[in-house]
Amino acid sequence: MAIVVVVAVVAGGLLLGGISQQSAVSYETVKYSPGMMAGAQALSATSASSYPGYPWASDRRLISSSGSVAKAYTPDEATLSFSVETLSKDASESQAKNAEISAKVRNAIKALGIADDDIQTSSYTLYPEYQWDEFTKKSEPIGYRTSNSIQITVRDFSLTGKVIDAAVDAGVNRVDNISFTLSKQKEAQVRADLLAQAASTAKSKAELIASGFGAKIKGVYSASEGYSYIPVYNKYLAMDSAGGSAPRAETPITPGDVTVTVTVDAQFEIE
């Protein structure tokens, strides 16, 4: 025996949750045999299992919740960024002067106990420099500028100010910034601790929600994490120290705390 079913065909595709007013709808009468109906039911079951995350495609009973934890930690590393800049009419001369000053800077920093591996070149540039000439009304070349940017990692914060002063005295003419961060080892431990706390918070909230409906949590269905960590930056600018040899106080540098935030979003199955 054939079964008659009325099927609505929506022009432009299937719209979930309703049909817009602009959609054109036509109706057809289609005859299905019992065998065709069994095949359709099997296809429907397969589709449902293929999309377990969607309520309309799954019979799972789910509760969604999230847990977020934010804590402040004392950084255990400081990163200092310096630059040595030289300007000469000849490119080779500009490079040679820069190399000489940069070597003095490295030696001055190493003399404070900073290891070679903690002193690295982050960028190196050489380019022609121009200056506007009011008489000719155009930019005229004035030489070649060499810039050597050096990055230093300091783990003993009592040396931070000393490193800055030694670098400037040796010829650094630009201190770009200072950032206080967590070392990779400490950051990994902090992240693991906060993940566990955020997950526990998400589970506790889900259990409270479920109990309010007279249900119980059966298990975790899905979970994802969010992670936020921003180092503390202190902008600092130092000009050439040439022209004066009078004693001066050590540059005071005080690190601030860094805040780490971890969020866990989860779905729980309920009985």
Residue with tokens 């500009």: 94
For the chain, the residue count is 271
The DSSP call for residue 249 is P
Report pLDDT for 42. 39
Per-residue pLDDT of the chain (271 residues; tens, 9 = 90+): 444 433 333 333 333 333 333 333 333 333 334 444 344 343 333 334 444 445 444 578 999 999 999 999 999 999 999 999 999 999 999 999 999 999 999 999 999 999 999 999 999 999 999 998 888 888 888 999 999 999 999 999 999 999 999 999 999 999 888 999 999 999 999 999 999 999 999 999 999 999 999 999 999 999 999 999 888 876 554 444 444 444 456 777 777 889 999 999 999 999 8
Whole-number Å distance between alpha carbons of 38 and 49? 17
The pLDDT assigned to 12 comes to 37
**How far is it, in rounded angstroms, from Cα 117 to Cα 163?**
15
For CA atoms 253, 254, 256, 257, give the dihedral sign. Answer: positive
Strand partners of residue 224: 265
Domain range for 39 is 3-50
For residues 111 and 245, state if they share a domain.
Answer: yes
pLDDT of residue 177: 87
Same domain, 114 and 18: no
Give residue for tokens 């309920």. 270
Q: Report the pLDDT value the prediction gives residue 248, as an integer from 0 to 100.
A: 56
The domain that contains 83 carries what CATH number? 3.30.70.2970
> Does residue 97 form part of some domain?
yes
Residue 65 is predicted with a pLDDT of: 96
Cα distance from N-terminal residue to C-terminal residue, the chain: 41
Q: What is the pTM of this model?
A: 0.64
Residues 15 and 123 in one domain: no
The residue among 85, 105, 80, 83 whose CA lies nearest residue 95 is 85
Asked if the structure places residue 195 within a domain, the reply is: no
pLDDT of residue 271: 87
Query: Can you read off the two tokens belonging to residue 183?
Result: 């070392």
- Is residue 263 assigned to a domain? no
80 and 43 within one domain: no
Which among 162, 147, 165, 175 has a CA at the least distance from the CA of 235?
175
Contacts of 176 (CB under 8 A, 6+ apart): 81, 82, 83, 149, 236
Specify if 99 maps to a domain: yes
Residues 241, 244, 249, 250, CA torsion sign: positive
**Shared domain check, 145 and 101:** yes
Same domain, 34 and 155: no
At position 52, the amino acid (one-letter code) is P
**Is residue 80 domain-resident?**
yes
16 vs 5: CA distance, rounded Å: 20
In-domain check, residue 196: no
**pLDDT of 25:** 35
Cα–Cα nearest to 223, from 265, 181, 172: 265
Instruction: Render the burial of 27-52: b for 16+ CB within 10 Å, e for the rest.
Output: eeeeeeeeeeeeeeeeeeeeeeeeee
Phi, psi of 93 (to 5 degrees): -65, -40
149 with 241, same domain: the answer is yes
